[in-house]
Structures are given as structure tokens and as C-alpha cells.
Amino acid sequence: MRVPGLLRALLLASVAFTSAVASGIAAAESAAEFPSRPLRIIVPFTSGSGSDSSARFYGEALGRVLGQPVVVENRPGANGVIGIQALKSAPADGYTILLASNSPLSVNPIVLKNLPYDPLADLRPVAGLSRNMNVFLVPVDSPWKTLADVVAAGKSKPLSVGTYSAGYRLAAAWFGNLAGIKLVNIPYKGQAQIMTDIIGRQLDLAVVDTSGALTLIRQGKVRALAVSGEKRHHELPEVPSVRELGYPDYVQYSWVSFYVRAQTPDDIADKLAGAMQSILKTPESIAFLATKGSDLMPYAPQAMRAFHQAEIARFRRVAQAAGIQPE
């Protein structure tokens, strides 16, 4: 029997409405029960990095607040692209969280062509976590005692510099441009291998996360020449900032934050964000950051979004000043 056009339209509308209602009920039930199973945090860097330790600390704290285990999964490689792709391939249900950093989110869009993700369109901020200075390292038996020594050596020959993400690569290139020296980037998947190679004199220089290097600096296994903050690092008061050494515009921080897929339901994302805000204010969180030498960056979702956008604009200016083109 042929169904009149108007009746067909009504039937289709009814089916669509029923489906939408069912989806809404399912979403509501999901949010009310969330989480009902373990969560995972994807870290786009190797274990032992500053990002990894943050993920494990905050993952454990989040698990206590939400009443479910949180598993950390390291997915290093391709300047963080592999980790973000892993998040994009997971359901947008809040059970998979990305511990993001400035490199894959604010630098990759500027230095990499054909990036398979849009950090602003594909990701939804949950919370800012912390920021940390970079540190310039040389082997402990290096003849270079100061950053000025490195610059003097770099005037006569290119120097190798180890970095493990686009953010550190950009930080090194920016300094090389300001100092008028050639720094040849040697890319690594994580900071641990850089530390091994700088100790073994396989590198002239390294630009890495300060928190991940503090122990070896204190043990006298590597020499810190400068930090990249607005002022000296409180855990390394004897180490000058690049800024005070004659480069007043050079200020650089690495930061980490939690993100979920952009399509994650509002109430689930809000529940995660609320849990993180409560965690960030605890004495345990403050003490953890103190051991890492990091600064608290407790941005709620909207503030994190605005900060993220500002960082992309800032790194674009840095890349232009350093003459870095997308590759």
C-alpha cells in the first residue's frame, strides 16, 4: 500500500523524535551513573616524563573522588599526534581523558603541516593543571660553565640540542635565533633518553622540563645553565633565567592540562571538571607540585580554552621570529 507523502513525513518525524528522546534518556542515565567503570588517561609522552608523573598523580586522585580506578596509558610518538589520535578514536563518553601539553596543542598547529586534528575543535578542556619552566642543560664535565659559553661555542660551529616535543624544539630554536647561533635539533620520544645522552655526552645541549631534571641536577650528574621562566626557579636559585642573561623577551613555560573529546556530553564533562577543581585545591596537590617545582594552573574549562587560544597566538609569533616554517 502506498503511504501518502504527508503520512510518510509524519512517520519519519515520529521515528526521529523517538530516537532523540531515547538518546537523551540514555545520555541522562549515563551522566547520572558516570563513572560506572574504570577510566583511562592517555599521555602522549613516555613514562618518566613530567607529563607522565602528573597524569599518575592526578589520575589516582581523580579515581578516589569518582570511585573508579584510573589507568594511565603512555602513547608517545609523532610529537604527541599518536596520543591525540588515540583519544579521537575513543568514544566521546568521558572515560578517556588526554593529558595534553603545550607542544601537541599549541605548537603542532604551527610547525606541522597536515595535522590530523584541530586542537580547538576536536578537544574539550576539563582543567588546567600546572606549568613549569624549561631548563638548559649540558654534561656535568662540559667546558661550558655558562650560557654565554654555549653562545660563544655556537658562533664557530653548529651545536646539537636534544628535545622531545615540538614545544621544546621551538624553545631551543627561539633561543638560537636570539643568540645568533645554529642549534641542530635532535628529536627524542621522551625526556628520560635525553638525560641519558646528555650524561653520556652524546649531546652538546638539552632543553627539557625542569621538574624531570631536578633530581639529576641536584645529584650533580648534569649542569643547569639557565631556566626559561620570568624569574629564577625557586628550587634552583643559583641558576639564572635566560631573561636576566641578556634576552629580556625570552620567557617560556611548558604546561599540562586535561582534555576530553569535544563531543563529550556537557554534564559528564562538567562532572570531571568539578572533580578536578576540588582536587587542585587540596594540600596534597599543592605539595605534589612543590616537589616538581611546578606552578599551579587551576584553570576551569572556559579559562583553559581562552589560555589555550592565547598560547597558539603566542607560539605563532615565536615561530615567525625564529624563522620556523611548517614541515
Q: Are 222 and 141 in contact (CB under 8 A)?
A: no
Angle between helical axes of 266-280 and 50-66 (0-180°, round to 10): 110
Cα 153 to Cα 147: distance, rounded to the nearest angstrom: 10
Percent of the chain with pLDDT over 90: 72
State how far the alpha carbon of 178 is from the alpha carbons of 12, 25, 170, 172, 181, in Å. 64, 58, 12, 10, 8
Q: What pLDDT does residue 30 have?
A: 61
Beta strand 253-261 pairing with 123-139? antiparallel
CA-based radius of gyration for the chain: 23
Rounded Cα gap, residues 247 and 56, in angstroms: 36
In this structure, the strands spanning 295-296 and 123-139 are antiparallel
Report the alpha-carbon distance of residue 17 to residue 23 in Å, rounded: 10
pLDDT at 238 over 50: yes
pLDDT for 98 equals: 98
Condensed to tens digits (0 to 9), the pLDDT of residues 304-322 reads: 999 999 999 988 988 887 7
Strand 253-261 vs strand 222-227: parallel, antiparallel, or unpaired?
Answer: unpaired
* Residue 9 pLDDT greater than 70, yes or no: no
Q: Are 254 and 167 in contact (CB under 8 A)?
A: yes
Closest CA to 104 of 141, 125, 79, 87: 79
3-state DSSP call for residue 41?
Answer: strand
Please say whether the beta carbons of 233 and 239 come within 8 A: yes
pLDDT confidence band for 243 (50 / 70 / 90): very high
Condensed to tens digits (0 to 9), the pLDDT of residues 123-135 reads: 999 999 999 999 9
Name the nearest CA neighbour of 214 among 235, 185, 193.
235
Angstrom distance (rounded) from CA 284 to CA 307: 25
Model-level pTM? 0.78
